[in-house]
């Protein structure tokens, strides 16, 4: 389940008249001081059910399990890929001046995940795990970007992802196997290389 929203105080009244107040692509309306944008995109993972099609015939086992909120040798394997946090979001706040200068910040968040070996569903768990691998704590990353539009043609941008240079969560190699695990972490989900700087320019013709 994914929720997407974009709220612009200056455009809210117009949107309500048009019946588009829930439209996530709502455009910004410039004001004398500038334009404020707030965007929020979140994903709630309620269930991630796997049916292996194999019934072990043992009491309490049915070959089915739920990987939502877990990672590990089963829920991090080819069956489901990387860790599966139940909640994640991107929250962005931006402000653009009438002269084309803009500044925006973004907060990326991933909720914690538990080792599937510790699940009370014995189809995947009912076992033990090393303390260092028992849980991946929630992770937050913050991004910052500066943009400028000149002469209605040139668009400059410079910024940094993971500006605080937060380290990725580290787990043992026994639960971060290839292809989804690399360097004792999961680059598909978490920022594995720390702070990332970028700059660019586009020209409209």
**56-76 tens-digit pLDDT:** 667 668 888 899 999 988 887
Position 30 scores a pLDDT of 60
Position 59 scores a pLDDT of 67
**142-198 tens-digit pLDDT:** 999 999 988 888 999 999 999 999 999 999 988 887 778 888 999 989 999 999 999
Position 202 scores a pLDDT of 94
Tokens at 91, concatenated: 């929250």
Query: Would you tell me how many other CB atoms lie within 10 Å of the CB of residue 184?
Result: 14
Q: How many Å apart are CA 95 and CA 28, to the nearest integer?
A: 10
* Terminal alpha carbon distance of the chain: 39
* 97 touches 52 (CB < 8 A): no
The answer to whether residue 17 scores a pLDDT higher than 60 is: no
Residue range 13-20: average pLDDT? 34
* Mean residue pLDDT across the chain: 82
Least Cα distance to 188 among 158, 160, 168 occurs for 168
Residue range 121-141: average pLDDT? 89
Position 69 scores a pLDDT of 94
Choice among 10-19, 31-40, 43-52 with the minimum mean pLDDT: 10-19
Most confident option among 25-34, 55-64, 109-118: 109-118
* 94 touches 146 (CB < 8 A): no
Comparison of pLDDT for 92 and 152, the residue scoring more: 92
Position 152 scores a pLDDT of 82
| Spans of all domains in the chain | 45-203
Most confident option among 14-28, 38-52, 73-87, 171-185: 38-52
The answer to whether residue 3 scores a pLDDT higher than 90 is: no
Nearest-5° angle of CA 21, CA 140, CA 24?
15
Q: How many Å apart are CA 47 and CA 62, to the nearest integer?
A: 17
pLDDT band at 103 (very low <50, low <70, confident <90, very high): very high
Least Cα distance to 7 among 34, 30, 33, 40 occurs for 40
């Amino acid at each position: 389940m994914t929720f997407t929203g974009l709220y612009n105080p200056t455009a809210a009244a117009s949107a309500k008249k048009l019946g588009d107040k829930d439209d996530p692509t709502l455009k910004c309306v410039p004001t004398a001081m500038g334009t404020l944008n707030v965007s929020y995109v979140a994903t709630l993972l309620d269930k991630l059910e796997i049916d292996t099609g194999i019934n072990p015939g043992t009491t309490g086992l049915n070959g089915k399990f739920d990987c939502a909120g877990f990672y590990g040798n089963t829920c991090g394997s080819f069956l489901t890929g990387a860790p599966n946090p139940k909640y994640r979001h991107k929250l962005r706040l931006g402000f653009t001046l009438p002269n084309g200068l803009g500044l925006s910040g973004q907060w990326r968040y991933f909720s914690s995940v538990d080792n599937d070996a510790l699940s009370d569903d014995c189809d995947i768990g009912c076992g033990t795990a090393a303390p260092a691998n028992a849980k991946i704590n929630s992770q937050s990353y913050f991004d910052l970007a500066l943009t400028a539009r000149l002469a209605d043609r040139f668009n400059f941008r410079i910024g940094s992802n993971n500006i605080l240079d937060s380290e990725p969560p580290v787990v043992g190699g026994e639960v971060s196997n290839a292809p989804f695990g690399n360097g004792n972490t999961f680059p598909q989900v978490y920022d594995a290389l720390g702070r990332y700087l970028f700059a660019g320019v586009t020209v409209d013709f």
